[in-house]
Amino acid sequence: MTEFLEVRWHGRGGLGAVTSAELVARAAISEGKYAQSFPSFGPERRGAPVLAFLRISDEFIRTRTVIYEPDVVVVLDPGLLHAVDVTSGLKKNGKIIINSRKSPAELKSEFGYKWPVATVNATKIAGETIGMPITNTAMIGALLKVTEAVKIDSMVEQLHERFGARAKGNIEAVKRAYKETVIKE
């Protein structure tokens, strides 16, 4: 059976969850891995909850389903923690990565999470690096710190390709979030 890294992204329309999944998949493919990324939308409007999925493997991926039991959950908007059970189906050895000003210990206590939790203030980082509170590239940095799914250099290449002249701030967001992400087992 093929081993995957399966990631479910929880965001809101306009925050870049779908773009994040796609960029990490492209970086994985550029490293010779196999990857899939795909969205799941409800009502397609800015601000509506959005799910995006990412699957990475060293072998060809035959599975084409939504990810019901992720290894990692990435939460781009901390407000979703009160609206959605982001841990639904999360594997026993899974990890949660949250955009939050709160520490991992505070969130574990507040929500009773039994999984390792990683936090980073992606909203602050995005504001300071790209000038907008669009947290997706900062959350990619947090994902890379927690999972080492792809190398930062591969990610930088994809950011240059996607954002062109606007890549600089996004690259800075990835690198800062990578450094500033705090993990509590």
Domains present along the chain, CATH in parentheses:
5-184 (3.40.920.10)
| pLDDT at site 42 | 61
145-174 confidence digits (pLDDT tens): 999 999 999 999 999 999 998 899 999 999
| pLDDT at site 40 | 83
Q: What string of H, E and C letters represents the secondary structure of 71-85?
A: CEEEECCHHHHHCCC
Parallel, antiparallel or unpaired: strands 5-12 and 72-75? parallel
The residue assigned the tokens 């992606």 is 122
| pLDDT at site 1 | 43
Closest of 4, 13, 14, 78 to residue 37, by C-alpha: 4
Query: Which residues, in sequence order, are CB contacts of 44 under 8 Å at separation 6+?
Result: 13
